[in-house]
Structure 1
Amino acid sequence: MRSPKKSTIALALSTLPAFLIGACGGNSTDPSGTTASPPVSAMAANSLQAIAYGAPDTSVPAGAGISITMMGQMRALFDLIRKSPDFTQVVMDLGDGSPVHVLDTNTGDKFLPGKLALGLSYILIDMKAKDDPKYADYLATYQKITTAMMQSSGAKYTYANTSWGEYYYLVALNNLNAHGMLNEVFSDAMLTTLQKRLNFCDMFGPDASGATDTCPAAGTAIDVASLNTAQNYYAVSYGIAGLRQKLGWSNPGFSSASDPSFATMGARDALLYTLTKHIRNDSSGGFSDEASNKNSTYYDQARFDRYSTLLIGEVVERTFEMGNQANLTPELKGYLRKSVDLILPQLNTDGQGFNYGRSIGPYGDSAFMEILTAAANAGVLTSNEMQIAYSFIYKAAYRFDNFWYDPSLPTPSVNMWVKGRGTDSYRGKARVMGENFSLLHQYLYVNNWWNKLGFGGKAPMADADFTSYLNGLPHYTLTLYNLPSDSAHPYSAALLTVRDGKRVINLNLSQAPDYNSYTPYYPVPFSDKLMYGTTDLGYALLIPQVSYNGKTYIPVTYYKNLNVQESNGQVVVSFDTTKFRQATKNAPYTTDLDLQAHTVLTFSSGTITRTDTLSSATLTGNVAVETDFTSFADYQNTSASGFNVNYADSAATNYGTTGFDNCSLSNFDTAGGTTNPLSTTPIGQLHSNFACMSTPFTLGAGVSRSFGWTLKYSVSN
């Protein structure tokens, strides 16, 4: 299938008005593999390069403030594998009494072969460039593992390697090719296998889980609407198609019953075209709705989270990676700028990223980093914003090495699973090896881009200047995901970011039908070490949770009448919740409760207050309300009296409630002698819970009842 002229694709991709934000940057080429370290004398110890690559031998430069470089971490993982007589028996021990066989076939990580091929390729490229005498030994290990992982056993391959895994593998192949190593590392037979297996076809047509090769016969086009997974996976298939094309490999074509233009496009550009329509149609302002699906009414949709903001960054990243900059339209750059504008007000001196929604933790930090890097390459940052972006990314890298990476574990590793931390089941502990590889790749990849952009080995701006910039950011920023005035979108969805000294507080209003029963999607403020959600679980965290007829209901969607005002240094937010949802994942909408809440949140310096006024014209029978506040404060240093609790060793100093009939303080981190799963947040363990409850009461026409809380916390400027 022939590719269209670039002008044709550019026109096809920009059928709606869009804008281009001019700035510096935007002319870099793909940085493949490892960028060599600048001369030691020219590299600042507090530079991104010093953390990612380090000295010429990848050791830690003096004064860098880290225990190991990222290249050092990658080499340690390679050595862990290389020294095992049987790589399928490699064990990583996180010190919780249950070591994991991280490279067997049952990890559940369907991206593992690609992550491993990419991660270990950094070491091969680096060793080859240095004429390292051990290169042949490491190459032999690499070839042994990659060959075994690609072997088929009957109808299936020994290891699954789908979507992201295929993309990661193709990044590795292109990096090796750029360094003239592809045919040295892979035999012709192996490349033939990879060319057949590394495709996007498993994401289209019927669910192809476990299938081997699902691409149609030559000359047969794939229906672009047959994607069998979430729509954001168009971005993964776009990366695969573009990287195959960069290697000179052919792709199946696409067709569409409703759009004949697909017949004139190659796969790469057809997927970019489809991606653009997804972002354009399933959002307002460029933030893709990651719960959107075909034949769905609006209230089934509207999950806005980390990935809604990151997706456009990944699209732009892939575009530069595959050398497709000619089709990076003003519309796409405009969407990318929207993501930049959402995260700039959240920047901080600690390198922390998203604190709400799913798949955060270290990926919340790296998402900011990826968006800012894509924006730097695309030319949508001002020269000052380039300096700000680099400074934040340096701090995120420093945080990764000193917070997320834990050298004290029996097997040093990134830690998302132990010592009070918890993550989504999607990133379960069995995937620990793959998560190390993908996170390290993100930082090494980003470092290589900033080296290309002229920042290699440079120190970030002075902390005083960075802090001065942050102090100059608006007191609050409101980002609307969709416009409440739009008749097709009757509900409010938005992110409010409030800055109080160094503290960043986010209030995310998102419908999230598939996740709204989990605390990270609750309509409550989240802020580092002050208020945080627990992944994949729900309880009455800072919301009026209602018990009615033996079931539990929560106000987690159907937001209307959102209003934000600032007066006398206070930010006042109000909104209405028109129904309460049953507190179970994907609860049927037929179980919604006819209960309304008018909510007012007030943000003052060092204080947040919330009042919920509940009413219903139709409920019969009694309801009861509970609201919990869980704290990072040590339970032993917490004291309660009546409806108030004081904290001695945390950012929170006091919490009190109104409207309830009784409250109780309890130890939250253990339940029955084991760790309470509700207590493990992405950033650490919650220790104490203050639960306040009402006795049962009735609501009816003309009757309402209000419940409230006030949280006080220390302010750092």
Structure 2
Amino acid sequence: MLSLRKTSLAFALSTATALLFSACGGTHDDSNGSPNTPPVTPPVTTPDPSKGGAISLHGIVYGAPDTSVQADAGIPITMMGQMRALFDLIKKAPDFTQVVMDLGDGNPVHVLDTNTGDKFLPGKLALGLSWILIDMKSKGDPAYADYLATYQKITTAMMTQTNGANYMYANTSWGEYYYLVALNNFKAHGMLNEVFSDAMLATLQSRLTFCDMFGADASGKTNTCPAAGTSIDVASLNTAQNYYAVSYGIAGLRQKLGWSNPALSSTSDATVATMGARDALLYTLTRHIRNDSSGGFSDEASNTHTTYYDQARFDRYSTLLIGEVTERTLEMGNEANLTPELKSYLRKSVDLILPQLNADGQGFNYGRSIGPYGDTAFMEVLTAAANAGVLTQQEMQVAYSFIYKAAYRYETFWYDPTLPTPSVNMWVKGRGTDTYRGKPRVMGENFSLLHQFMYVNAWWDKLGFNGKAPMADADLKAWLDAKPHYTLTWYNQPTDTAHPYSAALITVRDGKRVINLNLSQAPDYNSFTPYYPTPFSDKLIYGTTDLSYALLIPQVSYNGKTYIPVTYYKNLNVQENNGQVVVSFDTAKFRQAAKNATYASDLDLQVHTVLTFSHGEMTRTDTLSSATLTGNLSVETDFTSFADFQNTSPSGAFSVNYANSAATNYGTTGFDSCALSDFSMAAGATNPLSTTPIGQLHSNFACTTNPFALTGGGNRTLSWTLKYADAS
């Protein structure tokens, strides 16, 4: 067996333009570096003289001095160009609340009205457009005063206009944080009092707090800060645990501006009351990461756990959170509290990411809220790690090269200049995202994604990479090829009879192809395909957000209800034999296929699963058994392909061939019948099950059993084999 690496991942939303700091040392267990890595000296990279620095991260973000695209950069527009285009779209509208973005699907969106559902919109807009003002001011742009006036008009209206007792625009949590980043950036450039009046700053000081995240439930009620002499109970967080990081960022950035924070207390830990809000929130957040997993990852299932298996939604954000924490800590000048413990968690995140890196800039391919955010999560964690000094010099080169690739992918894949209103595309042309990032939030998603690339670029500029070329593709490929064939990352390891279940990620590398098998309990999302115990891989297998069907798992029908094996994982074992990676595990019960299904509705059905990964092929075998079920059950398993339905042809009753696709053949055993169908259309409209974050699924090969019983100790074995071409 190959040596196993525990890992984790993280995320950071901030801006580096306001920061100058020295990278801190760190500890990690990577074999490429010493246990006590010193502060990193920026490695030497060579710019491509034929491109004038265009083939660099900075070249993609800023381009030429006027932010136009440099020659041979291979992108349609720079990121600053995109941000300026959004500013111009708003600026030319007589009424900014009526600004429309048209994605060509027949349903244009009023992206700055009060009903977008984006409760962060004022902060996103204030931060996104601040990049343009700062750039214009630094260059002495004669149009600066005109753009400043537009900025002041919009920000004032959004943050001060009221409708009865309520503000017209919500701006909670992340929105408050984004706004405070903008304020600190303006202050760092000597522009704060030029952009905002004293009255406006007083309004912002009273409104940009973390109070809305504590106290009342998550019904949408906006809480007020406690009166003088009282405090907020830090345990009263009314949203997911990762919002401790958002509140920490708010408290630290308020403190950096010289603004006071609400006081915090705790009914369970008197230490909290001895700290200021900033440090109390970091203390609480560290305790969350430490206590809610055995591997240092953040459990994102809930802020209230009643049983062990409630504590097991591990996804993009679980690994991203520590990157956010690191980034906030550096951004607010709180480096002294970036402890060895936090750095060790950050290193685990790095170790989860490194085996997944690729030359195409692709990030997470499982879990919720991915798409371009799956790519930028890798980027943000690696940037935080570079700044915290937990990367070796070679890893610095690799990290920068991947981030360049992610930026290029954003410009050439996620950004679509052919839309009626050019924009990032997560919603049309076969793509789909979760309800949380619904299309009415399109303006805000452009702002937040562009900001991520801009602040990351600013950090790498400070690390000595301004205008530098990434590694040569051949060198990056050689580094990637040297990664282990598989990596096992534990989130939670079973410890005793009270805690018997496993949560882990298995990453398999087959040439250039990265395959992830994520075993995560996810009680609030496990009914949705992105959380299935299914191998996910780019352009080969992808889940559909917020929806469920029998994607490569044995979906059971019993007594008129549907059940799926998506939690209660036990006896996880991973081995490599003769070049094959073999993963086996047991599932103790089947869950009803419904969001937040009660545990009382679990089905006493067990399955022993074996997944075998070979070059160009993966096979899954499921053996079902039960000691108590008396009625008949039936099973369905589907494989949905990106291959054109017209180019898909059955090669027998139980297998199918694909053309012009990463998949080449899929076949099953143990089923009674299979049927090939067009998956992209349903009742004359686009099938919502077919829109994945990266594009539309077109064909479905569904295999089913006739009803059968599992009595007298009997069992039923079903299997599928998927063959695929090498990734290009």
| TM surpasses 0.5 | yes
Deviation string 1:677-702 (CA, Å, 9 cap, x unpaired) is: 00000000000000000011111131
Q: Does 2:682 correspond to 1:671?
A: yes
Q: Is the 8 A contact 1:24 1:382 kept in 2?
A: no
Alignment of 1:503-522 (within 5 A): 503-522=513-532
Distance 2:716 2:158 in 1: 61
Equivalent residue pairs, number = 692
Distance 1:586 1:27 in 2: 49
Q: Does 2:33 correspond to 1:23?
A: no
Q: Does 2:406 correspond to 1:396?
A: yes
Name the structure 2 match of 1:3: none
Query: Secondary structure of the residue that 2:37 maps to in structure 1?
Result: coil
Q: CA deviation at 1:285?
A: 1.6
Name the structure 1 match of 2:386: 376
Name the structure 2 match of 1:147: 156
Distance 1:42 1:654 in 2: 42
Seen in structure 2, the aligned counterparts of structure 1 residues 116 and 21 have a Cα distance that, compared at 3 Å, is farther
Query: Secondary structure of the residue that 2:640 maps to in structure 1?
Result: strand
Name the structure 2 match of 1:176: 186
Partner of residue 278 from structure 2, selected from 265, 268, 274? 268
Q: CA deviation at 1:40?
A: 9.8
Q: Is the 8 A contact 1:653 1:712 kept in 2?
A: yes
Partner of residue 526 from structure 1, selected from 509, 520, 536? 536
Distance 1:230 1:364 in 2: 19
Query: Secondary structure of the residue that 2:574 maps to in structure 1?
Result: strand
Q: Is the 8 A contact 2:28 2:347 kept in 1?
A: no
Seen in structure 2, the aligned counterparts of structure 1 residues 209 and 134 have a Cα distance that, compared at 3 Å, is farther
Q: Does 2:425 correspond to 1:415?
A: yes
Q: CA deviation at 1:300?
A: 1.9
Partner of residue 73 from structure 1, selected from 54, 79, 82? 82
Seen in structure 2, the aligned counterparts of structure 1 residues 27 and 234 have a Cα distance that, compared at 3 Å, is farther
Any stretches of 5+ residues in structure 2 without a counterpart? 1-26
Q: CA deviation at 1:154?
A: 2.7
Name the structure 2 match of 1:5: none
Q: CA deviation at 1:486?
A: 4.5
Name the structure 2 match of 1:236: 246
Seen in structure 2, the aligned counterparts of structure 1 residues 295 and 478 have a Cα distance that, compared at 3 Å, is closer
How big is the alpha-carbon RMSD for the aligned residues of Structure 1 and Structure 2?
Answer: 1.7
Q: CA deviation at 1:296?
A: 1.1
Q: CA deviation at 1:18?
A: 9.8
Q: CA deviation at 1:25?
A: 4.4
Q: Does 2:256 correspond to 1:246?
A: yes
Q: Does 2:658 correspond to 1:647?
A: yes
Partner of residue 341 from structure 1, selected from 343, 348, 351? 351
Amino acid at match of 1:82: K
Query: Secondary structure of the residue that 1:563 maps to in structure 2?
Result: strand
Partner of residue 210 from structure 2, selected from 190, 200, 219? 200
Q: CA deviation at 1:210?
A: 5.6
Query: Secondary structure of the residue that 2:533 maps to in structure 1?
Result: coil
Partner of residue 489 from structure 1, selected from 499, 518, 531? 499
Q: CA deviation at 1:83?
A: 0.4
Q: Does 2:99 correspond to 1:90?
A: yes
Name the structure 1 match of 2:232: 222
Partner of residue 316 from structure 1, selected from 292, 316, 326? 326
Q: Does 2:691 correspond to 1:680?
A: yes
Deviation string 1:607-647 (CA, Å, 9 cap, x unpaired) is: 00000000111101110000000000000000012101000
Distance 2:492 2:412 in 1: 38
Q: Does 2:559 correspond to 1:549?
A: yes
Name the structure 2 match of 1:34: none
Q: CA deviation at 1:596?
A: 0.5
Deviation string 1:268-322 (CA, Å, 9 cap, x unpaired) is: 0000000000000011121111114335111122000000000000000000110
Distance 1:481 1:621 in 2: 36
Q: Is the 8 A contact 1:616 1:701 kept in 2?
A: no
Q: CA deviation at 1:359?
A: 0.3
Q: Does 2:118 correspond to 1:104?
A: no
Query: Secondary structure of the residue that 1:494 maps to in structure 2?
Result: strand
Amino acid at match of 2:37: A
Q: Is the 8 A contact 2:679 2:687 kept in 1?
A: yes
Seen in structure 2, the aligned counterparts of structure 1 residues 286 and 208 have a Cα distance that, compared at 3 Å, is closer
Q: Is the 8 A contact 2:556 2:635 kept in 1?
A: yes
Name the structure 2 match of 1:433: 443
Q: CA deviation at 1:96?
A: 0.2
Amino acid at match of 1:586: N
Superposition TM-score, scaled by structure 1 size: 0.95
Q: Is the 8 A contact 1:517 1:585 kept in 2?
A: yes
Name the structure 2 match of 1:59: 68
Distance 2:98 2:569 in 1: 51
Q: CA deviation at 1:42?
A: 9.3
Name the structure 2 match of 1:12: none
Q: Is the 8 A contact 2:48 2:469 kept in 1?
A: no
Query: Identical aligned pairs, as a percentage?
Result: 81
Alignment of 1:285-364 (within 5 A): 285-364=295-374
Q: Is the 8 A contact 1:482 1:489 kept in 2?
A: no
Deviation string 1:242-292 (CA, Å, 9 cap, x unpaired) is: 000000000011111222212221100000000000000011121111114
Amino acid at match of 2:111: V
Distance 1:138 1:112 in 2: 19
Q: Is the 8 A contact 2:67 2:81 kept in 1?
A: yes
Any stretches of 5+ residues in structure 1 without a counterpart? 1-16, 29-37
Amino acid at match of 2:70: P
Q: Is the 8 A contact 2:40 2:393 kept in 1?
A: no
Distance 2:127 2:303 in 1: 32
Name the structure 2 match of 1:128: 137
Seen in structure 2, the aligned counterparts of structure 1 residues 410 and 40 have a Cα distance that, compared at 3 Å, is farther
Partner of residue 567 from structure 1, selected from 577, 590, 601? 577
Deviation string 1:428-457 (CA, Å, 9 cap, x unpaired) is: 000000000000000000000000001111
Q: CA deviation at 1:207?
A: 3.2
Q: Is the 8 A contact 2:51 2:71 kept in 1?
A: no
Q: Does 2:613 correspond to 1:599?
A: no
Distance 2:81 2:91 in 1: 15
Distance 2:669 2:149 in 1: 67
- 617-626 or 408-417, which moves further after superposition? 617-626
Q: Does 2:591 correspond to 1:577?
A: no
Partner of residue 672 from structure 2, selected from 661, 670, 690? 661
Q: Is the 8 A contact 1:24 1:381 kept in 2?
A: no
Name the structure 2 match of 1:704: 715
Seen in structure 2, the aligned counterparts of structure 1 residues 488 and 702 have a Cα distance that, compared at 3 Å, is closer
Q: Does 2:461 correspond to 1:451?
A: yes
| Structure with larger RCO (C-alpha < 8 A, sep 6+) | 2
Superposition TM-score, scaled by structure 2 size: 0.93
Q: Is the 8 A contact 1:93 1:411 kept in 2?
A: yes
